[in-house]
Amino acid sequence: MIRSDYTFDKAAHTITFTQPVVLSKIGLINDVTAGIQIFNPGDPTLNGSLTGQVLTLTYNTSALNNADILQVFYSGSGDNALLQSSAITTVSTGAWIDTTGYAELTAQFSGTANFSVLFETSNDQVNIDTQFVLSRDELSLQDVIETNGTYGIKRAGIYTRWNCISITGTENVTIIGRTATGITGADMLSFAMDRSTRTPLQVQLPVDLKQDSSGALFWADSAIYNFYSSSATTPVIIDTTGYQSIVFHQATPGIVTPTIANDLSLPFVSVSGYSTAAPQTLLQATTAASITVWPVIARYIKFTGPATVVNGTIVLRETPFSAMIPTNAAVNVAQVGGTNTVTAGVAGMQAVGGNIATGTAPTANPVYIAGIDTTGKTRPLLTDINGRLYADNALINPDGATAQSSAIRSFQNGASQQVSDLTMSDDQSHIDLLRNILIEMKVMNQQLYELPNLINKGLTALDGPEQFRNDPSISSI
């Protein structure tokens, strides 16, 4: 192969390579621009010595130019030849690698950086295209490398180089040349086969599906996020799409405030949840180690901690948010219809079983039946001993004759409605009603009896229903 990763210094008579080099693999070196040979390992007058990656030539190159094009023959095209070893610390590109004589390159990434690297290929180092790489851990080709591992790069052009588009930290990359193709898509596909029968393909379930112990599918639930906050400037923001409630298990004390928003560019607003220890009380922040439940009513939820260290676990649930008030819990009624419940004698709604006088122990628990009179005041209804409402504000004795005293009448000053006795209609008793029904049934029976005879003879009925009703023999009971 021909090496192009070098720098020529005519005054020092040196050629410095940017990648590892072995002296025994360096062949002829020609100065193409000057048209002369400046290194030949078989000629003592054109020999040289190697120190690290610097080749010092025996030939005096003072008359040449540093910009001359050198043709460096290198016998490094054997399998697993080390072509490049670099430490990447900044956004940059690597030196071009001449891939002549290789079927594939293998790049190994190691380090602790967060990085994104892609590989490029070119035939003239001017027109550049992106190459696909194959990870040993993936079943598909990819164009961007973001994790440590070994990647296969198929030879697509004469030259190949890496291009780091983002990095934080230091990442090491080592590239070797392979004369034979390494890991292929077919090799990776074999990992998807059943190991016992080699068929059929193993199917990976989507991340939003799970299986129970019997193999039945169900939607994934309880996505877990770790919460760790040491200041208010390090909140945890979660996209809650697909979930209905959030359970926050706070392990250490400290005020943690959840807020919500539909867009990260908008201000977050407060949200109310509850503690499982006191489900009847809504809260907008946690204060101690506890388990709290929060509703999903916006796309994003943010948990913001205090200046002290607070940690816990956030679990997203598909079950809906609901206040889990125990059925046997004693719950005090604070309001009825928006009015505070208070002890009798104080303005407000009277509490059931409360005092019937201010500061006095209850001696009775009355249940009032009330109506509204014409003055707008609520008063008890007054009835006689038979349960009938008084006809007016003149109270009548049970015998219906003598009026009560004015002191009693003042208890009810508004007019009331007399209740009628409906055991009889206005004009007849129930016996008369039954008698009329019987007469109508007799009339209908007579007409049905005569109907076939009239039809056969083509006659018209001579007697109408009213004549039957007026007949004393029919109408008598």
Residue 370 binned pLDDT confidence (cut-offs 50, 70, 90): very low
Looking at the structure, tell me whether residues 85 and 164 fall in a common domain. yes
Span 238-267, average pLDDT: 91
Looking at the structure, tell me whether residues 158 and 20 fall in a common domain. yes
Determine whether 68 is exposed, middle or buried from the number of CB atoms within 10 Å of its CB (0-12, 13-18, 19+). middle
Domain assignment present for 298: yes
Domain ranges, residue 142: 2-185
Residue 475 binned pLDDT confidence (cut-offs 50, 70, 90): low
111 or 472: which leads in pLDDT: 111
Domain assignment present for 340: no
Say whether pLDDT at 87 is over 80: yes
Looking at the structure, tell me whether residues 385 and 447 fall in a common domain. no
Q: What is the pLDDT of residue 78?
A: 65
Q: Which range among 134-148, 309-323, 335-349 shows the weakest confidence by mean pLDDT?
A: 335-349
Q: What is the pLDDT of residue 88?
A: 93
Q: Which range among 183-187, 258-262, 460-464 shows the weakest confidence by mean pLDDT?
A: 183-187
Say whether pLDDT at 348 is over 60: no
Closest CA to 117 of 82, 142, 145: 145
Q: What is the pLDDT of residue 412?
A: 44
Q: What is the pLDDT of residue 337?
A: 66
Looking at the structure, tell me whether residues 104 and 223 fall in a common domain. no
C-alpha to C-alpha distance for 317 and 220, rounded to whole angstroms: 9
Domain assignment present for 360: no
Q: What radius of gyration, in Å, describes the C-alpha atoms of the chain?
A: 51
Interior CA angle at 378 toward 372 and 379, to 5°?
Answer: 100
Looking at the structure, tell me whether residues 397 and 434 fall in a common domain. no
Looking at the structure, tell me whether residues 376 and 434 fall in a common domain. no
Q: What is the pLDDT of residue 248?
A: 94
Domain assignment present for 454: yes
How many other CB atoms sit within 10 Å of the CB of residue 326? 9
Tokens of 30: 């020609």
Looking at the structure, tell me whether residues 120 and 29 fall in a common domain. yes
Looking at the structure, tell me whether residues 27 and 131 fall in a common domain. yes
52 or 370: which leads in pLDDT: 52
Domain assignment present for 259: yes
Q: What is the pLDDT of residue 343?
A: 53
Among 160, 185, 210, residue at a domain's last position: 185
Q: In total, how many domains does the chain have?
A: 4
Residue 438 binned pLDDT confidence (cut-offs 50, 70, 90): confident
Sheet holding 273-275, edge to edge: 223-229, 310-317, 245-250, 290-295, 273-275, 278-283
pLDDT in tens, 12-48: 999 998 877 878 788 889 999 998 999 988 788 899 9
Domain assignment present for 196: no
Domain assignment present for 178: yes
Q: Highest mean pLDDT range out of 32-41, 225-234, 348-357?
A: 32-41
Tokens of 110: 């190691």
Span 373-390, average pLDDT: 58
Say whether pLDDT at 437 is over 80: yes
Looking at the structure, tell me whether residues 413 and 455 fall in a common domain. no
Domain assignment present for 202: no
Looking at the structure, tell me whether residues 102 and 45 fall in a common domain. yes
% of residues, the chain, pLDDT over 70? 67
Looking at the structure, tell me whether residues 13 and 67 fall in a common domain. yes
Backbone angles phi, psi at 472, to 5 degrees: -60, -30
Looking at the structure, tell me whether residues 148 and 7 fall in a common domain. yes
Q: Which range among 48-62, 73-87, 194-208 shows the weakest confidence by mean pLDDT?
A: 194-208
Among 161, 185, 209, residue at a domain's last position: 185
Assign residue 277 the CATH number of its domain: 2.60.120
Amino acid at 429: S
Q: What is the pLDDT of residue 222?
A: 78
